[in-house]
């Protein structure tokens, strides 16, 4: 990893932080990001950008905590239960009409709750369906947690109790996802803003990831998602993420938060 360079302003800070982290904060809304960075600096006793960058260079625990603070990893199994109902009642049947095996992608998967929810949905309601799930995130720590697969009670607030019994094993470290679910999911490190995407995908879930992206970054990302889907493929967004004004990309709403490539 390269060393962070000294910075006096927010612009210097994001320039200095980029080579070390791979995270280019110019794609994120400045007001919100700057506020998050300053609140982290205050709570950890750092008063200026240069001194804080220096501390990030030498303290890997601080660096990891800061990266986690910036990327906001909050997730849950079956987050927004109504949308998962639409997914299993309408969207997956629609996709299976025209293609098998299905290729699904959870983009910004955090510690695995979303891709494992996809796997459990397919296993439970479409037991004969063939499918594979790619799950990606920019944060290597959440990917590690996803592969270990241990979860706490608050991850299950929207999970039907029978799923907990069927697809998890209770352990001292929390409930662990079973191998039968895990083997359907491949985790990979990826930066959505700079890396290449696979093509020919049937389904992409990208939820609660773009919240701090600039409008330009969002449009660029939704264009890349559209190119990545096969015609008829579906993009699933978060419950505050409407693709207003992006009709030119060739994504048509088929239900709230589900968009189909034309």
Ligand X SMILES: C[S@@+](CC[C@H](N)C(=O)[O-])C[C@H]1O[C@@H](n2cnc3c(N)ncnc32)[C@H](O)[C@@H]1O
Choose the binding region for ligand X from 109-117, 176-184, 224-232, 240-248 (rule: CB under 6 A). 109-117
Told to check if 92 binds ligand X by CB under 6 A, we report no
Among 105, 207, 234, 259, binds ligand X (CB under 6 A): 207
Secondary structure of residue 225 in the 3-state scheme: helix
Could you tell me which stretch among 89-97, 151-159, 166-174, 201-209 binds ligand X (CB under 6 A)?
A: 201-209
Neighbours of 93 (CB within 10 A): 13
240 Cβ contact list (under 8 Å, min separation 6):
211
Closest CB to ligand X among 53 and 142?
142
Site for ligand X contains 140 (CB under 6 A): no
Q: What is the spatial distance between Cα 261 and Cα 223, in angstroms, rounded to a whole number?
A: 11
Q: Applying CB under 6 A, which of residues 118, 138, 201, 251 lies at the interface with ligand X?
A: 138
Distance of CA 134 to CAs 10, 110, 125, 154, 197, Å? Answer: 35, 13, 20, 24, 11
Could you tell me the smallest distance in angstroms from the CB atom of residue 27 to ligand X?
Answer: 7
**2/147 Cα distance (integer angstroms):** 27
Cβ 19 to ligand X shortest distance, Å: 16
Beta carbon nearer to ligand X, 192 or 235: 192
Task: Please pick, from the candidates 84, 121, 137, 159, the single residue that binds ligand X as defined by CB under 6 A.
Answer: 137
The binder of ligand X chosen from 46, 56, 71, 235 (CB under 6 A): 71
- Separation between Cα atoms, residue 102 and residue 130, nearest integer Å: 6
- Contact residues toward ligand X (CB under 6 A) are 71-76, 79, 108, 110, 113-114, 137-139, 142, 190-193, 207-209, 238
């Amino acid at each position: 990893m390269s060393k962070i360079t000294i910075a006096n302003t927010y612009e210097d800070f994001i320039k200095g932080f980029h080579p070390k982290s791979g995270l280019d904060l110019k794609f994120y809304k400045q007001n919100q990001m700057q506020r998050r960075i300053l609140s982290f600096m205050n709570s950890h006793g750092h008063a200026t950008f240069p001194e804080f960058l220096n501390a990030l260079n030498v303290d890997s625990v601080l660096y990891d905590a800061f990266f986690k603070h910036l990327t906001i990893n909050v997730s849950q199994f079956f987050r927004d239960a109504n949308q998962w109902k639409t997914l299993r009642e309408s969207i997956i049947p629609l996709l299976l009409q025209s293609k098998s095996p299905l290729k699904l992608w959870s983009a910004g998967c955090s510690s695995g709750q979303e891709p494992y929810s996809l796997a459990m949905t397919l296993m439970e309601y479409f037991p004969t369906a063939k499918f594979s799930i790619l799950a990606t995130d920019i944060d290597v720590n959440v990917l590690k947690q996803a592969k270990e697969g241990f979860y706490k009670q608050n991850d299950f607030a929207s999970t039907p109790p029978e799923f907990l019994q069927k697809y998890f094993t209770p352990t001292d470290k929390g409930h662990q996802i079973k191998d039968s679910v895990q083997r359907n999911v491949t985790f990979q490190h990826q930066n959505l803003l700079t890396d290449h995407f696979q093509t020919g995908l049937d389904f992409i879930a990208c939820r609660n990831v773009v919240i701090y992206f600039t409008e330009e970054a969002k449009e660029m990302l939704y264009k890349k998602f559209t190119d990545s889907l096969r015609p008829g493929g579906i993009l699933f967004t978060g419950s505050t993420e409407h693709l207003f004004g992006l009709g030119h990309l060739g994504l048509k709403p088929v239900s709230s938060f589900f968009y189909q490539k034309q």
